[in-house]
Structure formats: C-alpha cells, structure tokens
Amino acid sequence: MAKLFRAVIMGPPGSGKGTISERIAQRFGLTRLSSGDFVRENIAANTDAGVLAKTYIERGLLVPDHVMTRLLLPRLEEMTRHSWLMDGFPHTLAQAKALNSTCDLDLVISLNIPYETLKERLSERWIHPASGRVYNMGFNPPHVQGRDDISGEPLIQHDDDKPEALVARLRHYKDVAKPIIDLYKSKGILHTFSGTETDRIWPYINSLLSTKIPGTLQADTQCIPMP
C-alpha cells in the first residue's frame, strides 16, 4: 500500500503558513492541521487541556510544551489513515522532539520572508476569530469590508500583529526556530523557500510536492502512540 505523507510548514508570523497550507490542502487533498485551531477548539469545548491553555493565551503567552503535546499528539495518533500538513507545531525544540517520537515526517517547508514584507502583511491582516479564516486588505480582501465571507460576522485585528509587537515576535521566532530548523536539516527533510510574494513561491512548493505526493494518499502506516 502507498505510504502516507506527513509534513510541517514553518515560518515567522505573517510568512504565509496559513495561506500556503490552505493551497496545499486543496491541491493535494492533505488534511490541514493548525495548532492554533486545535487550541481554540479545545478552549471552546472546555477540555482539561483547553482550560489550561486558555489561562496562557489570555495573558498573551504561548501554551507550554506539555499542554500543547497533550492537546495535539492524541489527535495525530487518530489520523492513522490520513496524510496531513501541520501549521503552527512544532514551535519549540521540545515540541519537535515529541512529534519526532510520535511520527516520521516526510518533509518540512520553511518560509523565509523579509521583515519589511511581514510587517506590511500583518498590518493588513484581519481575522474571523470563530473560524480562524484570514484575510488581507490588499491580497485577499473579504467580499464585504470588515465582514467574514461565510458567516458575515465582524473581522478583528490581533494586537500581536501591530508593528510594535512584531519585532519581539520575530526575534522570538528566530531564536526558537533555529534549533528546530537545524534538526530537520540534519534529517534531510528541510526545504526552504524565500521571497516576498506567496504567488511566486507557490509554484516551487507545488512542483516539489508533486514529486513527493503522487499516489501516497491511501496508506495505513501509523503514528506510534507516545509512551
């Protein structure tokens, strides 16, 4: 039986992880997994891990590694018959190691986007908080200004996306991502894409994945449950 395909997309805030993973999911039929969506779902469902995660998010903090792995790894273990692409996890080396002992990743996409571009994009990013749908007033504006296309509900901007918060977020990303990137590089599965426009990067990602994915989507290799 063909092998399953498991991939991770990494990059600083605003680098296009959400936008590109949506395109990959549509084009290749992978299940798109987003750590932010998992966190929001668990908070909404009041699970133990969700209640705990909320106490950090409310203070503008990242969710600690042990809570994130408790949230995510069981979901991955359920995905035994799916190929997937993960956005937002791992965010730390500890998370990368936990993921490593659960699944063999086939490929990691790392997006390398200049700071000025990130700043511009994030200042124009608007979000529908309930669904996580992302808009950009220049690049992919909503049909009706300030409203989500599907629900019609109001869009919001994250305080985090303001330029004054961005410098610190990017510095933090560089620090935490370096050892993860080194780890994936040493495994030979890292592919880095640089540029200022998603539409120009996309053809390269598309052709890379076309060489890696064909016929790989219906296998039943398994994620091994963590001890």
Ligand X SMILES: Nc1ncnc2c1ncn2[C@H]1C[C@H](O)[C@@H](COP(=O)(O)OP(=O)(O)OP(=O)(O)O)O1
Annotated binding site: 14-19, 35, 40, 61-63, 95, 125, 134-135, 169, 198
Binding-site residues for AMP: 35, 40, 61-63, 95, 169
**How many angstroms separate the CA atoms of 82 and 90, rounded?**
19
Among residue numbers 178 through 207, which ones bind ligand X (CB under 6 A)? none
Cβ closest to ligand GDP, residue 153 vs residue 197: 197
Cβ closest to ligand X, residue 194 vs residue 207: 194
Question: Is the Cβ–Cβ distance between 191 and 108 less than 8 Å?
Answer: yes
Cβ closest to ligand X, residue 14 vs residue 213: 14
Question: Is the Cβ–Cβ distance between 174 and 161 less than 8 Å?
Answer: no
Query: In 177-206, which positions are buried (b, 16+ CB within 10 angstroms) versus exposed (e)?
Result: beebbebbeeeebbeebebeebeebbeebe
Segment near ligand X (CB under 6 A); pick from 83-91, 106-114, 141-149, 186-194 = 83-91
If binding is defined by CB under 6 A, does position 9 make contact with ligand X? no
If binding is defined by CB under 6 A, does position 96 make contact with ligand X? no
**Cβ-based neighbours of 191, under 8 Å, separated by 6 or more:** 107, 108, 109, 110, 208
**3-state SS record for 144-161:** CCCECCCCCCECECCHHH
CB of 57 to ligand X, least distance (A): 6
Binder among 35, 102, 110, 136 for ligand X (CB under 6 A)? 35
Residue 74 is encoded by which pair of tokens? 């069981």
Sketch the per residue contact string, 50 through 69, with ligand X: x for CB under 6 A, - otherwise.
Answer: -------x----xx----x-
Strand 84-87 with 6-10, pairing: parallel
CB of 38 to ligand GDP, least distance (A): 14
Cβ closest to ligand X, residue 89 vs residue 193: 89
In 3D space, the residue among 223, 18, 179, 205 whose CA is nearest the CA of residue 91 turns out to be 179
Contact residues: ligand X, CB under 6 A? 13, 18, 35-36, 39, 57, 62-63, 68, 88-89, 91, 95, 160
